[in-house]
Amino acid sequence: MEVQEYVPEGYKFTFQEYLFNTQTHRLTQAQSNWRSFYLLDEKRKAVLASWHLHVNEGVAKSPYKATFGGFDFSEQLTLDSLSHFIGKVSSAVVEPIEVILAPENLNPQKFTISRQSLLECGFDVVRSQVNATISVTDQQFEEIIHKSERKKLKKSIREGLTSKKLDFEDFHGVYQHLMACRAERDWGLSMSESQLKNVADNLSDHFHLFGVFDKEKLVASAITIQLSEKALYVFYGGHIKEYDRLSPAVLLHGEIYAFCQKKGMKHLDLGTSSMGDDTDLNLLNFKKYIGAETGLKLTLKR
């Protein structure tokens, strides 16, 4: 096996890169200063692993501006082969490297191998967060949530709330709604509408919008991003404080869960519950009450 900064003609990938690591998404993060590395099997003409680093102000980051980055690799890749790949990349990159791994629950086996390989190659964990992910199965949403959330779900439906998947053309209205929901709580959004719309326009097939309505009034909404064939990520979600008593977020996530079932996805990533360096326990508990399991999300540096 050898490591190159390009993929030779005729070589095939043996894995799927997460959306944030694809060239299309990376070019929305930054147009230049990327270094890409590939682990190649010359006999099989196969790409076994890839890692993309953005170099800026003396630091190589993966991702540069995304929820996570890290390396993608074949399910069959061994710990020693991945460590070999990381070692070669580390030797080729003179700048300090910062990497955020994909959340543990999206693929526990790959997470374990990734973490251990990085540690053995001299990386240190500099941030550890709790991530919440719902495993999407044949069970209905009502069956996987806590009984208290089931009562809220039934109440919201009884009082006339409805949920549905929205069109991509509704992006502006959904973003403005989410911004208003955050403003009510003195929170902000991490990306401006123009920044996020630029990404969405380039990857419209990966962006899915959802809403909960009281008649014609939008009371809860979410912008989600399809990370892979198997995973959907709730990037932004929120509801109007006026509707706290009906907990429309439960109905909203039920609609998103049903969409995942329909599309054959296995993971609904609800993200971390971090407020700065602390964990918002109320938010984390809500995610657990609607069926999520917790796992780690790690940032490492060398």
Quote the tokens at residue 85.
């790949």
Residue 261, number of CB atoms within 10 A of its CB: 17
Q: 125-160: per-residue pLDDT in tens?
A: 999 999 999 999 999 999 999 999 999 999 999 999
Residue 277 has pLDDT above 80, yes or no: no
- The reported pLDDT for the residue numbered 274 is 83
Which residues make beta-bridge pairs with 37? 51
What is the band of 278 on the pLDDT scale with cuts at 50, 70, 90?
A: confident
What is the band of 275 on the pLDDT scale with cuts at 50, 70, 90?
A: confident
- The reported pLDDT for the residue numbered 276 is 75
Write down the number of H helices and E strands in the chain.
Answer: 9, 16
CATH architecture of the domain with range 137-265: 3-Layer(aba) Sandwich (3.40)
- The reported pLDDT for the residue numbered 91 is 96
Nearest residue to 85 via CA among 157, 150, 5, 26: 5
Secondary structure E strands in the chain: 2-4, 12-13, 34-41, 46-56, 59-62, 71-73, 97-100, 124-135, 161-166, 207-214, 217-226, 231-239, 267-272, 274-275, 278-279, 292-301
Q: 182-220: per-residue pLDDT in tens?
A: 999 999 999 999 999 999 999 999 999 999 999 999 999
Where in the chain are the domains?
A: 2-128, 137-265
What is the band of 227 on the pLDDT scale with cuts at 50, 70, 90?
A: very high
- Map tokens 């070999």 to a residue: 84
Rounded to whole angstroms, the Cα distance separating 256 from 170 reads 16
pTM of the model: 0.94
Tell me whether the CATH fold assigned to 2-128 matches the one assigned to 137-265: yes
- The reported pLDDT for the residue numbered 173 is 98
- The reported pLDDT for the residue numbered 127 is 97
Provide the CB-side half-sphere exposure for 267 (13 A, CA). Answer: 24
Quote the tokens at residue 231.
């995973």
* Residue 215 three-state SS: coil
Looking at CATH, the fold of the domain delimited by 2-128 is given as Aminopeptidase (3.40.630)
